[in-house]
Amino acid sequence: MSRDGERVIELVNELGARVGHLLSDMVPPAAQVHLLNAQRELITALMLIYENRVAPEPAARRARRARAIRRTTKRDTKITIK
């Protein structure tokens, strides 16, 4: 993971911790657990989106995709029906 990705994780965790401390007096414990789980899921989703946009696609996958593209041949012409 790149250094920028690590910074994003640290920033999101810090923001989550600060909001958690502010809300801990007002939010019941069961709701806190639910919110922490939701926070983890959100962080995971954001990191997957970030990695998908920043990281290049693996060469093996690109090669497979290039081979999978079907090229037309002379046999792939229309057949006239009389």
If DSSP states are collapsed to H, E and C, what string results for 56-68? CCCHHHHHHHHHH
pLDDT tens, position by position, 3-35: 777 888 788 888 878 877 877 778 888 888 898
31-76 tens-digit pLDDT: 888 988 998 898 888 888 888 888 776 666 656 665 656 666 666 7
Judge contact between 46 and 38, C-beta under 8 A. Answer: no
The pTM of this model reads 0.46
Q: What is the rounded CA–CA span in Å between residue 68 and residue 74?
A: 19
b/e for 2-18, b at 16 or more Cβ within 10 A?
Answer: eeeeeebeeeeeeebee
